[in-house]
Structure formats: C-alpha cells, structure tokens
Homo-oligomer: A and B are copies of this chain.
Amino acid sequence: MNLPATSKLPFGGDYNPEQWPEEVWQEDYRLFDSARIDTVTLGVFVWALTQPAPDVYDFSTLDRIVERAAAEGRNICLATGTGAHPAWLARAYPEVTRTDFEGRRHRFGQRHNSCPNSPVFRRLSAELARRVAARYADNPSVVAWHVGNEYGGACHCDLCAAGFRDWLRARYGTLEALNAAWYTTFWSHTFTDWDEIEPPSALTEHWRGPNHTAFQGITLDYLRFMSDAMLANFRDEKAAIRESSALPVTTNFMGMYRPIDYHRWAADLDFASWDNYPPDDRSPAQMALAHDLMRGLKGGQPFWLMEQTPSYTASRDVNPLKRPGVMRLWSWQAVAHGADAVLFFQMRASRGACEKYHGAVIGHAGRGDTRVFREVTQLGTELDRLGGLVLGARTPARVALLFDWDSWWALEISDGPSRLVRYQQVVLAYYRALWDAGVDVDVVPVTTDLSPYDVVVAPALHMLKGDLPQRLEAVAERGGSVVTTFLSGRVDEHDNAFLMDVPGPLGPLMGIRIDEWDAREPEVVNPVRLRTGAGRVEVEVESRLVFELVIPQGAEVVGSYQADFYAGTPAVTRNRFGAGLGWYVAAGLDQEGVGTVVRQVLEQHDLVGPYPDVPELETAVRVAPDGTRLLFLLNHRAEPVEVVAHTGGTDLLSGDPIEYGQPIGLGPYGVMVLRTSTP
C-alpha cells in the first residue's frame, strides 16, 4: 500500500490561485480554515505559466502558491500541469495537437489536446514533471504527485499510425499472425506490409461513428493501443518524478470511462484516484459501482476521491443543483466504498471560460455564508471528528463482479445482434441487484484471483481470455456460484468467434447450448416467468433487446420465455457444477428479473445484507487495519427512514451509542457511521 501519508482523511480540492491576485489568497485561506479544508491540489493547468516559452521555465508564481499553502499548513497534492499544452507549443510543433476520428488535425484549443505519440509532447511533458518534482520534492507539505489530468480521448495522426504499427509488430510478430487475428481474409483485407495498416477511423474502417467498424480486430487493437500510448505518457512523467521523489503518484481517473482500460494502468499508479460526476442525482448504485471499480484497481486498496462538485457541474446541457445534504451523503458514500480522501473541484469559482458556472466552495461573491459553504464546513467538521480511523480500511467482500474493458469494447463495436445492448447498463443492472441486497462487492478485472469469493457475477462477459473459464469453473467446483448472461463467451481475445457452441468455453459450467438468438426493438417485451427462492411463488418479469434460445445440456430451467415462437423455452438456467452452480441469464431481464436471480444466488450463500427491503438505504462495511469495523448507513431518499439496529456500536458522527435491536432513524439523505462493537 502506497497511499499518501496523512494523519486524517484529506479534505479540500483543486485550487487555482494563479487565476487571482494575491490579496484573494488571504481571503481563501481564511475561508479554508473555517471549513476545515486541509488539502489543496495545485498546478493542474499551469504549463503555460511554468514554461512560457520553449526554453524558459518560470516557477516564480508556482513557488509563491506552494509556499503559501505550506505556510498555511495544508497538504499539497501537486500536479505536473501537463493536462493542457501551451499555445506556443501548438504553434511551434503543429504535430503536438491531435487528429480526430474524422481525420482532422486540430489546432490549438481546449485541453487533453496532446497527441500521445508526439515526441515533443513526450519530451517536454516529462521534462516539466522532472522539474516540478525536483523543485518541490523536498517540501514536506507535498504529499502526492498528480500527473496530467483525466487522460482520455484519442488521436489518429500519422505519428499514431506509426506507433500503432510498432505496437502491432510487438504484439503479433508477423503479418501472418496479425492477418489471422484480424480475420483479414474477409473482404480482401490481407495486409502484405506493415505500412498498409491505417488507424481505424471515419476515413478507413468506420461507418457510423467509433462503434461501427468493418473490422472489429483493428478497432479493438487501436483502443488497446491508444490506452497504452497514454499510459506511456503517464509513465514518462512518473519516471521523471522518481528521479527526485519517492512520494506516491496518481492521476485522476473517471470511473467507468470507456477509452482507457484502467486495469492496464493500475499497476503503474501508486494509488488510484477519481473524479465523481454522476450523470444525474438518482444514481447512488452507479456511483457505488464506480467507487468499487476504482477500489478494485489496486486490489482493494483505498483510493482518493479527487474531484466532485459541491453544487453543480457546468458542462452538461442541464446542470442541476445538488439538493441540501446530498453533497455530504455522496461524500460519505465515497468513504464507505473505500475513499481515503474527499476533494472538490473547485475551491474558488473561475471568473471566465467554460467552468465559470461550475460549482465551487467559494463562489464569485466570495461569501462564507452560503448554504453550500455551510454544508462544506459541516462535512469538514465531521471528517475532523473521524480523524485517521478509516485510513487504509478494507472492504470485506465475498462477492466479485467482473468488469472487463475488452468485453466492453468488443460488445459495443460488434455488428449484431443488437447495438442497443450497452455494457455499462448490463453491468449496472447486476451491480444494482447486489447493491439492493446490501452486500459488499469487489468489482475486479478478469485476471483477479477468484479464490476469495463465494459468488462471481460476470455480466455480458463477451470476451474470454486466458484461463478465465477454468478459474470460473474452479469457483463453482468448490461450491461457489457463477452468474453470467446473454452475449457472454462469444469471442476470444482477437474478437474471433469460438468455433463451438455458444457460450463457448463457458458451456460446460453453464450446462447449456445456444444455436440461435433473437434481437428486437426496445419496445418488444418477452415476459419471463421466473422461479424465486425455495418455497416461494414464481414471478413474471420482462425481458428485452436480446433473447437467446437455450437448449439445456444438463442445466435446470429457472425461468422461461412466455411469448413468441420460443415461448416455454428457457430464459434463465442453473447448472450444478462440482459443489456449486453456474447461472445463465439468456435475455435482457428488467431490474426486477435481475434482482430475483441475484437474490437467490446471494441467499444460498447467506450474503444478503441487513436491510435488503428498505429502498435506497445503502449499507457498506470497511475494516480498518487495526480491525475496527465501520458500518456505513446511507439514506439516499429525501424522506427519513427508520430501521432496527442489527448490530450495536457507536455512531461516530453523533457520538451516540447504538444497541442491537434499537430503532435507528436516518433523516432525509441521512448518514450514520457505526463503529460496530462486534468486529
């Protein structure tokens, strides 16, 4: 574990004093004091400031900023500042800007604008990181390095084409191997020279956007390559930092962000961090999933919540205000799922440009008496009260959910059976069922050791790589349960179909075979009659989008279609395998259907949480290094809720003792952090 060394959970966020005259800084720190803000992220976009010309480095302003923060006793998360390149760089080296999917070379503008394969970008970004680290490594207030910012996007320029060919040479060795992997006999695509290979784009293999390609193999490899190319950028800077500092290094991720395979990156980060901007204010399960995914990057090690808005975003078409209490609730949810820091974007609102109306702890009027500022202060006070107790605490999960960028990409760039199936939605439906049941979940890559888990859920596991089928079988073999769904087990690592019955190598575990499948427009519903747990009645739920026609090969039917020519055939099956079970869900069940299946699986392993039938009441557990067990209760509803304590302990926020069996109430968006008496 290599998290920044702090005595308590850091609280604060992105701070850009370079945008303000120094008299404003003084007011800032006065307000920071009052809100218990102890940590600032500095210098995220200061390249033009620190290197105003090709041969000129000028750290005078950043020096003052860092010195002031240190003098004020704040922890500093110091950025290398390479998330946006300066205008002079784009003018001096036009190749540093990106060429987009449409084949258009961009000119200077925006941010995240550097071609990852541009030699000048790689050289100068590393050099800047080197100088920043060398200059501030000895400042004891600096606790972590922040490289770049929200890596992402893609470039399709000639430099990237050359880089892609090198990457392919390293991956495949020969053109024969590449032609086989990409199945180029199809449509006369055989490559006879590496230089014939073009980055897939709107000008080459793609029709209607990035997901619609003539050759999945090319497109899939380009996604992998681009993720690796940006990882190389991160590595460039980290290596440069390491020349003078051993402090932990991170970059801020974005949760379920498709362009970057964070699992390929995880080993290179000392600790994970991410920016939580959920699409709306009705997404507690989706945020929980993203937190768990981020925690899963480093094997369960806590992460930093690097950014969240205290109030509203600005980049959306509609930017709603977080209701009173919601920012606090969501901050505690992050902690409950493994966050060891709670940070905001941003400390003081910009006057101009596109984030002018993005919420901030301090608004344009500079007031400390706004509702938002009061809520930030309340949270700061609570985090102070918590102290260092939670630092390094782990989630004791016995359920794993497999998340796989390769399957995500392969599923969504596939032609047929249905472009309407979205990986995130399928994954979220299964995660949400687990979340509703109140069970702690590790969201992990497919390469994870599965031996600690009783239940492994693998939604839409389109691609199977390596020994994963064997490892899943081993879970069942020893008595565990494995759940998978339609469109799983279809392709190998090159996106070529397995030449065997669907679901490919998962067939034996699932005890089924699938010869054909139907896909329908979203308004077409096929009802599915589904057995619930032992002794209970059947329910009828809805299925949509994809309907695989299952021929049992030993599996027992748990649910069956009720309509169309395949009425009466299996939609959900369960196969005894060793001492355990393989569950297969052949259709796009609605949330009730997914919940019905998942609940049965969990019940069998006695893994259902204490309040599975209280809607939107989330529970989560963290166990501190010293064995202290913290139970988080989070009420995501605008109405109060009352439940009976299923364990005794102390509410760390109020200080109140809680006894087993006593009624406990949580107000609207209420939070309780219970240090349980029975670890």
Q: Which residues of A contact B (CB under 8 A)?
A: 16, 18-19, 45-49, 52-53, 81, 83-88, 90-91, 102-111, 182-193, 195-198, 200, 202-207, 213-217, 311-321, 323-324, 349-358, 363-367, 370-372, 414-420, 491, 494-502, 515-521, 545, 565
Whether A354 lies near B215 (C-beta < 8 A) is yes
**Measured CA separation A549–B470 after assembly (Å):** 59
What is the CB-to-nearest-CB distance from A595 to chain B, in angstroms, rounded to a whole number?
A: 26
Whether A519 lies near B45 (C-beta < 8 A) is no
Whether A216 lies near B317 (C-beta < 8 A) is no
- Chain B residues whose CB sits within 8 angstroms of the CB of A319 once the complex forms: 416-418, 519
Whether A87 lies near B196 (C-beta < 8 A) is yes
Whether A418 lies near B318 (C-beta < 8 A) is yes
- A46 — nearest CB in chain B belongs to which residue? B188
Whether B185 lies near A16 (C-beta < 8 A) is yes
**Measured CA separation A46–B200 after assembly (Å):** 22
Whether A203 lies near B106 (C-beta < 8 A) is yes
What is the CB-to-nearest-CB distance from A498 to chain B, in angstroms, rounded to a whole number?
A: 7
Q: With A183-B351, A353-B217 in contact, do A192 and B102 touch (Cβ < 8 Å)?
A: no
**Measured CA separation A324–B83 after assembly (Å):** 56
**Measured CA separation A106–B371 after assembly (Å):** 53
What is the CB-to-nearest-CB distance from A37 to chain B, in angstroms, rounded to a whole number?
A: 19
Q: Which of A316, A357, A358 has the most B CB atoms < 10 Å from its CB?
A: A357
- Chain B residues whose CB sits within 8 angstroms of the CB of A416 once the complex forms: 312-316, 319, 356-358
What is the CB-to-nearest-CB distance from A137 to chain B, in angstroms, rounded to a whole number?
A: 22
- Chain B residues whose CB sits within 8 angstroms of the CB of A371 once the complex forms: 515-516
| Copies of the chain in the assembly | 3
Whether A190 lies near B352 (C-beta < 8 A) is no
Whether A190 lies near B48 (C-beta < 8 A) is yes
8 further interface pairs, Cβ-Cβ under 8 Å (given A318-B520, A366-B499): A90-B196, A107-B198, A109-B206, A110-B214, A182-B352, A182-B353, A320-B520, A356-B491
What is the CB-to-nearest-CB distance from A120 to chain B, in angstroms, rounded to a whole number?
A: 16
What is the CB-to-nearest-CB distance from A659 to chain B, in angstroms, rounded to a whole number?
A: 33
- Chain B residues whose CB sits within 8 angstroms of the CB of A352 once the complex forms: 182-183, 186, 215-217, 494-497
- A18 — nearest CB in chain B belongs to which residue? B185
**Measured CA separation A111–B213 after assembly (Å):** 11
Whether B107 lies near A354 (C-beta < 8 A) is no
- Chain B residues whose CB sits within 8 angstroms of the CB of A500 once the complex forms: 364-365
**Measured CA separation A190–B191 after assembly (Å):** 45
- Chain B residues whose CB sits within 8 angstroms of the CB of A16 once the complex forms: 185-186
Q: With A48-B190, A315-B415, A364-B497 in contact, do A321 and B354 touch (Cβ < 8 Å)?
A: no
**Measured CA separation A182–B90 after assembly (Å):** 18
- Chain B residues whose CB sits within 8 angstroms of the CB of A207 once the complex forms: 110
Whether B351 lies near A497 (C-beta < 8 A) is yes
- Chain B residues whose CB sits within 8 angstroms of the CB of A200 once the complex forms: 109
Whether B415 lies near A185 (C-beta < 8 A) is no
Q: With A48-B188, A91-B193, A192-B53 in contact, do A108 and B516 touch (Cβ < 8 Å)?
A: no
Q: With A354-B415, A415-B357 in contact, do A519 and B312 touch (Cβ < 8 Å)?
A: yes
What is the CB-to-nearest-CB distance from A599 to chain B, in angstroms, rounded to a whole number?
A: 30
**Measured CA separation A355–B414 after assembly (Å):** 9
- Chain B residues whose CB sits within 8 angstroms of the CB of A202 once the complex forms: 104
Whether B109 lies near A205 (C-beta < 8 A) is yes
Whether A350 lies near B183 (C-beta < 8 A) is yes
